[in-house]
């Protein structure tokens, strides 16, 4: 984890380990986060959902079908029930060459307890509005916001209302507005002005990005993070385009590229 230069500098290309090093190990597990740290990612990317008993667990889908082979939603189960589920078999079935390790879901507290200030956290709030306060409680209680590193915790969401609410409740946390553009990425001057009121940048599906758009966003002093990029050729093209961060399932590829 490179701590020499501000994480939020426009000059950097942040290496954001998407669901941990999820190309190498089951997503959102201790193993995938540990590998991301070893691969020198700048951030662990963490998607969050809320359990029946109001704990925050790192999981991308609201349903359990894909990673746990269970029926129903995260919100139908207590944390204790969720902790019993195996979330690795689906991955190791697809990757028989890898040595399986026991894989459980983790709460945000457990992740912060495991890594403390040694890593940076790029947290996506995937819940409906109104529950953001649960996230801020965890961040405050774990002390992770008392960090002298600007950008040590970033919060991202596709939902602008969620981000505006967090900006009011905890103005110190940098926010990223996510977009998924169907075609070429475009934002009007008015939209950019609105984003700048609460966010430090945007996260965009990389296929929609183009040079003029990235230039326009940077000229407006916003960061541009591209998701989710899993090969070196596209990483290189995006770096040339000027993006300031890349979400990847293979943080080792980007680390290697940045050292070349
Ligand atoms: O958070 C950026 C990127 O991860 C958004 O896509 O679906 O992987 O959360 P998703
Ligand atoms: Ca995400």
> According to the model, what pLDDT value does residue 158 have?
97
Long-range contacts of 236-244 (CB under 8 A, 24+ apart): 238/206, 238/209, 239/13, 241/209, 241/210, 241/211, 241/214, 242/211, 242/214, 242/215, 242/218, 243/13, 243/206, 243/209, 243/214, 244/9, 244/10, 244/12, 244/13, 244/14, 244/201, 244/218
Q: Please work out whether the CB of residue 47 comes within 6 Å of at least one atom of ligand 1.
A: yes
Ligand 2 centroid – CA 59 distance (Å): 9
Q: How far is the CA of 48 from the centre of ligand 2 (A)?
A: 9
Say yes or no: CB of residue 225 within 6 Å of ligand 1. Answer: no
What integer pLDDT is reported at residue 167 of this predicted model? Answer: 97
18: annotated active-site residue: yes
CATH number assigned to the domain covering 14-259: 3.20.20.190
Per-residue pLDDT of the chain (260 residues; tens, 9 = 90+): 455 679 999 999 999 999 999 999 999 999 999 999 999 999 999 999 999 999 999 999 999 999 999 999 999 999 999 999 999 999 999 999 999 999 999 999 999 999 999 999 999 999 876 889 999 999 999 999 987 789 999 999 999 999 999 999 999 999 999 999 999 999 999 999 999 999 999 999 999 999 999 999 999 999 999 999 999 999 999 999 999 999 999 999 999 999 99
């Amino acid at each position: 984890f490179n701590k020499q230069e501000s994480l939020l500098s426009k000059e950097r290309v942040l290496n954001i380990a998407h669901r941990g090093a999820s190309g190498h190990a089951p997503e959102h597990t201790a193993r995938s986060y540990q590998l991301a740290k070893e691969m020198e990612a700048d951030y662990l990317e963490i998607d969050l959902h809320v359990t029946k008993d109001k704990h925050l667990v790192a999981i991308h889908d609201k349903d359990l079908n894909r990673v746990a082979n269970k029926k129903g939603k995260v919100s139908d189960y207590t944390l204790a029930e969720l902790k019993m589920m195996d979330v690795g078999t689906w991955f190791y079935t697809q990757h028989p060459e890898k040595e399986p390790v026991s894989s459980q879901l983790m709460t945000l507290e457990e992740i912060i307890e495991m890594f403390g200030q040694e890593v940076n956290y790029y947290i996506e709030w995937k819940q409906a509005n109104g529950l953001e306060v649960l996230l801020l409680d965890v961040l405050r209680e774990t002390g992770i916001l008392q960090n002298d590193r600007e950008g040590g915790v970033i919060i991202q969401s596709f939902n602008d209302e969620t981000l505006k609410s967090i900006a009011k409740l905890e103005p110190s946390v940098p926010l990223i507005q996510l977009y998924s553009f169907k075609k070429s990425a475009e934002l009007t001057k008015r939209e950019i002005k609105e984003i700048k009121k609460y966010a430090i940048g945007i996260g965009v599906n990389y296929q929609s990005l183009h040079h003029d758009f990235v230039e326009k966003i940077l000229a407006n002093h916003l960061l541009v993070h591209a998701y989710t990029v899993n090969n070196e050729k596209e990483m290189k093209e995006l770096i040339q385009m000027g993006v300031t961060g890349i979400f990847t399932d293979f943080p080792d590829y980007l680390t290697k590229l940045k050292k070349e």
